[in-house]
A and B are shown apart, each in its own frame.
Chain A
Amino acid sequence: GNSVTQMEGPVTLSEEAFLTINCTYTATGYPSLFWYVQYPGEGLQLLLKATKADDKGSNKGFEATYRKETTSFHLEKGSVQVSDSAVYFCALSRNTGGFKTIFGAGTRLFVKA
């Protein structure tokens, strides 16, 4: 079946550090891949997405590249800020007569000033 595995947290970084959160997936066919972010006290919101192999999604300084050969979609940011502290969810979606989205367990990021 379809599944998403992402690195366990929490991840604690100092401001301006480089961030990587690993995500790998298992899916049949060609899913779309997403990163959602959940800031404290809020629901999830889309951070970025990629819909086919070798696509790069980017937003707010974050990037992730759809790697079909390694079934990965790792999230990166070159210089994190305190305001990036949140929980990050990797997810995949396939149209199986209607979209169903599968989420990873989430990775909590703390950024210290």
Chain B
Amino acid sequence: DVKVTQSSRYLVKRTGEKVFLECVQDMDHENMFWYRQDPGLGLRLIYFSYDVKMKEKGDIPEGYSVSREKKERFSLILESASTNQTSMYLCASSLVVQGNTGELFFGEGSRLTVL
């Protein structure tokens, strides 16, 4: 069964701390994504990656960075956490094959609270 695993389900951090959110997929997918989910706003794309060591900004990249050193792992980094980054963070992956429609496979989410 396909699986996307996010390392932490719940985190509480203080303003100014550096935060790492880890995501691992076991499906050999090329594409990986980080979204944040906020009530009334749906899911907004932070960063995505089409390949190892490759990254592209999504719609709301400010205050975030990412790392993809291995195909199966995609990390989201908050260099200096702020209270407005309190949110649910969702990692997803998808396969790149001809005819693929871009279906996403999601992890269970990481709920981050910044105090």
Contacts and interface: CB of A to CB of B under 8 A. Distances in A.
A98 B103 CA distance: 12
A68 to B, nearest CB: 16
A69 B47 CA distance: 33
Interface residues of A, number: 24
9 contacts: A32-B101, A32-B102, A36-B104, A44-B106, A89-B42, A99-B102, A103-B35, A103-B42, A104-B42
Contacts of B25: none
Contact of B109 (A43, A95, A98, A101): A43
Nearest to A45: B106
Contacts of B31: 98-99
A89 B43 contact: yes
Contact of B104 (A42, A44, A105): A44
B102 A95 contact: yes
B108 A42 contact: yes
B42 A34 contact: no
A49 interface: yes
Contacts of A58: none
A46 B104 contact: yes
Interface string A17-34: 000000000000000101
Nearest to B95: A99
Contacts of A103: 35, 42-44
Given A89-B43, A99-B94, A46 B103 contact: yes
B41 A43 contact: no
A105 B106 contact: no
Contact of A105 (B35, B40, B92, B96): B40
A24 to B, nearest CB: 14
A45 B108 CA distance: 10
A46 B4 CA distance: 14
